[in-house]
Amino acid sequence: MTSGAVLTPIRPRLLATWALAHGLPRVALRAASRRGDPIAGTAVDPTIRQDPFATYDRIRDQGPLINGRLLSATATHSVANEVLRSDAFGVGPGDLGSPRLNRLLTRLIDSSVPGPVDPPSLLSVNPPLHGRLRRPVSKVFTARAMNGLRPRIRELADQLLDRVADRPRFDLVADYAKVLPLTMIAEILGVPEELRPDVLRFADSASQALDPGLSLRQYREVDAAVREAHATIGGHIEDLRRNPGSDLLSQLATMDGTDRLSDVELRATALLTIGAGFETTVNLIANAVVALLAHPEQLAALRADPSGWENAVEEVLRYDSPVQVTLRNAQRDVDVAGVRVPQARPVLVILAGANRDPDVFDDPHRFDITRANAREHLSFSAGAHFCVGAMLARLEGAIALEALFERMPDLAIAGPPVRRGTRVLRGYDSLPVSPAISDRARRS
């Protein structure tokens, strides 16, 4: 967050919404963390955020599903997979411990401009509504369609690398890892080039909304970004209704019949698809570069045999998961791994912990691009909420990384990497690198 960030004015409704959604949970999480609750610590302890894996191990060692003061959690692969796939668990607003407070928060949230974790966002609705909103989007992200994008992804990667090839150093995140997936998802959805810088700015601010316990300043910044994003994308959708193209947003905007989306549903779905369409890949690419440069023997093996890039991407997704955690709420009383979970109890599914479960992955803290079962990770979730853009993210990651190290075989980190301040999303805000490009690899 920058000091010049746009902030929504403090009004009574905004203050009350923040207090219920973030302020009170923030106080409770910090108190529980100080008392040694490792589940709460993952949300608020900055030292855990920097290197969370020992804490995930600690949670897993206490049992397949453990109960904290405020919520339950699992870092065990089998239990995480079960919770993600079970209809006994759903998404949506968390339990504030009081039905009255829950109802009050629901009334306070401005339903005309929902954020990424507010209904009708796909992240916050359950079947059958989830299926109705997801179906028209998933029709675009088919295996055939995604494979057809391979040449365009490589073309774009080369164009972006051409721009930085003669610089002594550049920011891998700002100049490459962000631009490639943002451009691809914008082209798929039909977002014009002039709107893309605004989309990136909105997404950078709104991604904070995934985290629990935001400060009032952070919440105001997110709220301002969400409102501006709805206004911008809403205006673009109206343009598409008058002059539709063949892109996904045009298809969504001109649907009719029972599948037609309301204006709010359309804007929420479009904005989430844009954000989710590049956030994972941004983190994946930067995390991969850091991991590979720290393991030069594995990078050398990929240069010798480029067929290994797809599995290398799976290992990066497992080893340094771009999405660390997700939350589910028990829809009814249910037993999981011998533990009773009462209705409405939140369960933190620690995807990054499940991805390092020693019962599934041998020597799980070792980075190994040849790992035979790397693809068994849960970084894209599982069940009804499995990431609709998983194949696109995998393709973009593999092609972007292969192009990068093919064009810049002597790439090196040229300054201290800066980790993102977010807790749900794990990646880098900045990654200075030096291309040190060889004459043989330089493009004419």
Q: pLDDT grade, residue 444 (50/70/90)?
A: very low
Q: Which distant-in-sequence residues (6+ apart) come within 8 Å of 379 by Cβ? A: 280, 317, 318, 321, 322, 323, 351, 352, 355
Total domains, the chain: 1
Tell whether the torsion through CA atoms of 99, 105, 111 and 114 is positive or negative: negative
Question: Looking at residue 50, what is its pLDDT?
Answer: 86
Asked, for residue 317, whether it belongs to a domain, the answer is yes
Helix, strand, coil percent values for the chain (each to nearest 5): 55, 10, 35
In angstroms, the CA 236 to CA 245 distance is 12
Q: pLDDT grade, residue 92 (50/70/90)?
A: confident
Q: What confidence tens digit (pLDDT) does each residue in 336-365 have?
A: 999 999 999 999 999 999 999 999 999 999
DSSP E strand boundaries for 79-182:
89-90, 170-171
In angstroms, the CA 214 to CA 211 distance is 7
**pLDDT tops 70 at residue 5:** no
Q: What confidence tens digit (pLDDT) does each residue in 226-256 have?
A: 999 999 999 999 999 999 999 999 999 999 8
Q: What confidence tens digit (pLDDT) does each residue in 250-296 have?
A: 999 999 877 789 999 999 999 999 888 888 999 999 999 999 999 99
Asked, for residue 2, whether it belongs to a domain, the answer is no
Is residue 222 within 8 Å of 18, Cβ to Cβ?
no
Question: Looking at residue 203, what is its pLDDT?
Answer: 81
Asked, for residue 131, whether it belongs to a domain, the answer is yes
Residues written for the chain: 444
Phi and psi at 88, nearest 5°, equal -80, -10
Asked, for residue 339, whether it belongs to a domain, the answer is yes
**pLDDT tops 90 at residue 183:** yes
Asked, for residue 116, whether it belongs to a domain, the answer is yes
Asked, for residue 7, whether it belongs to a domain, the answer is no
CATH number at residue 360: 1.10.630.10
Q: What confidence tens digit (pLDDT) does each residue in 374-408 have?
A: 999 999 999 999 999 999 999 999 999 999 999 99
Which residues constitute the domain of residue 125?
A: 12-434
Of all residues in the chain, the percent with pLDDT exceeding 70 is 96
In angstroms, the CA 444 to CA 383 distance is 47
Is residue 372 within 8 Å of 98, Cβ to Cβ?
no
Half-sphere exposure of 282 (CA within 13 A, CB side): 28
Question: Looking at residue 373, what is its pLDDT?
Answer: 98
In 140-215, alpha helices (H): 143-147, 150-164, 172, 179-189, 196-206
Q: pLDDT grade, residue 97 (50/70/90)?
A: low
Asked, for residue 442, whether it belongs to a domain, the answer is no
Q: What confidence tens digit (pLDDT) does each residue in 28-49 have?
A: 999 999 999 999 999 999 889 8
Which of 6-20, 64-78, 285-299 is predicted with the least confidence, judged by mean pLDDT? Answer: 6-20
Cα Rg of the chain (Å, integer): 22
Q: pLDDT grade, residue 210 (50/70/90)?
A: very high
Q: Which distant-in-sequence residues (6+ apart) come within 8 Å of 41 by Cβ? A: 33, 48, 55
Judged by DSSP in three states, 36 sits in: coil
Question: Looking at residue 438, what is its pLDDT?
Answer: 47
In angstroms, the CA 261 to CA 132 distance is 9
Question: Looking at residue 443, what is its pLDDT?
Answer: 47
pTM metric for this prediction: 0.94
Is residue 154 within 8 Å of 403, Cβ to Cβ?
yes
Buried b (16+ CB within 10 A) or exposed e, 329-352: bbeeebebeebebeebbbbbbbbb
Asked, for residue 4, whether it belongs to a domain, the answer is no
**pLDDT tops 60 at residue 437:** no
β partners of residue 425: 323
Q: pLDDT grade, residue 440 (50/70/90)?
A: very low
Q: Which distant-in-sequence residues (6+ apart) come within 8 Å of 4 by Cβ? A: none
